[in-house]
Amino acid sequence: MTRQKSIEEKFSFLESFLNVSLSKDGVNASIWCPFCKHPNKNKLKLAIHLEKNLYHCWICSKKGSNVPYVISRLNRSKSETSSHYFQRSSRKKSLFEDEEDIEEIEIVQTPKGFKLLANAFSATDPDVRDVFKYALKRGVTKHKIWFLRLGYSLDQDFRRSLILPSLDCNGEINFYTSRKIDKPGNSPFKYKNADVKKKNIIFNEINIDWNRPLTIVEGPLDLLKTNDNATCLLGSSLTPDMKLFSKIVENKTNINLALDSDVYYKSIQIADVLYSYNINVNILDTRSADDVGDMSHAQFMEALNEANLYKKEDTLLSKIAML
């Protein structure tokens, strides 16, 4: 393949789904930048060098060699195909490239046969009706069914499971979890999750207003009981290398931390690290139930209203209490 043909094919690929222009020298393609997100989408300020497979935005200075990552931010369905056109160089990473540019692209698809539970109020299939009853038994409101886009599937791997999908800030699915509604005796594996690196996931970022206090719980099912501006850790840790942590610090978002009462020390650890980044953290008292998922919405809102602001001495008091 000649150099010119390679460049032409790359440009044709971009042109097939993006607003793109080509420089006079025929080497640089310019597109809208998904990082600085200029409100005028006709501002094509992110340049892609079609020969070297490098990119650089002239507004936000974002740059790197992972062009498929850029494309995934613009059109997730094209990210896998793009890797055939823009293969990353095997050379040593340049000092001028951003760490984010070496992030692996992980494609997530909704479980096979996924359907919204909100459209199943009159379902006749007994499995679907049982999933709906399970959701109601857990205290899920009609609002939460719509807001969290709860779902079900009749596929064998997900049948009789409540499915909670997660959408990123662009509305693309980035994670899901499903919970079997039957007792463990009939179903040894209660949960089935998307196989992706959780540290790169902000669960349902599409729902988050970073300018308002953000409630953080442990797992997706805990979100059934919280206020709406909320997300989950997909575990019980929040560390500086996680995407959620970075977004909190970047936006200086106040946090309401609601972990299960049996891991209170984890709440203190997380609050202490966030405190070191000048982030205010309110810690909820969740001892009224075994875990947040067992609380009623009213119990949770009461705990939220009575949450205590973390202070540095709380770490010392926590350590003393553990002796």
Average pLDDT over residues 30-54: 87
Question: CB of 132 within 8 A of CB of 121?
Answer: yes
Q: List residues bridging with 28 in a β-sheet.
A: 49
3-state secondary structure of 146: helix
8-state DSSP, 76: G
Read off the amino acid at residue 318: S
Asked whether the predicted pLDDT for residue 91 surpasses 50, the reply is no
Distance CA 274, CA 310 (A): 10
Average pLDDT over residues 113-129: 92
Distance CA 247, CA 259 (A): 20
Read off the amino acid at residue 265: Y
Question: CB of 62 within 8 A of CB of 46?
Answer: yes
Q: What angle do CA 97, 100, 106 make, to 5 degrees?
A: 130
> Domains in the chain, ordered, with CATH?
3-102 (3.90.580), 107-196 (3.90.980.10), 198-323 (3.40.1360.10)
Full-model pTM: 0.68
The 10s digit of each residue's pLDDT in 210-241 is 999 999 999 999 999 999 999 999 988 899 88
User: What is the CB neighbour count within 10 angstroms for residue 93?
Assistant: 14
Structure tokens given for 36: 């600085």
183-199 burial, b if ≥16 CB within 10 A, otherwise e? eeeeeeeeebebebebe
Distance CA 171, CA 182 (A): 31
Q: Which residue has the higher pLDDT, 205 or 36?
A: 205
Q: Give the per-residue pLDDT at 114.
A: 96
C-alpha distances (whole Å) from 304 to each of 24, 43, 217, 286 are 58, 43, 12, 9
Asked whether the predicted pLDDT for residue 95 surpasses 50, the reply is no
Phi and psi at 149, nearest 5°, equal 55, 45
Distance CA 139, CA 131 (A): 13
Q: Give the per-residue pLDDT at 185.
A: 64
Q: Give the per-residue pLDDT at 317.
A: 58
Distance CA 190, CA 182 (A): 8
User: Residue with structure tokens 């089935």?
Assistant: 192
Phi and psi at 78, nearest 5°, equal -95, -5
Pairing mode, strands 255-257 and 214-217: parallel
Asked whether the predicted pLDDT for residue 288 surpasses 90, the reply is no
Question: CB of 55 within 8 A of CB of 96?
Answer: no
Asked whether the predicted pLDDT for residue 25 surpasses 90, the reply is no
Q: Which residue has the higher pLDDT, 101 or 283?
A: 283
Q: Taking all residues of the chain, what is their mean pLDDT, rounded to a whole number?
A: 86
Q: Give the per-residue pLDDT at 316.
A: 62
Structure tokens given for 184: 């463990």
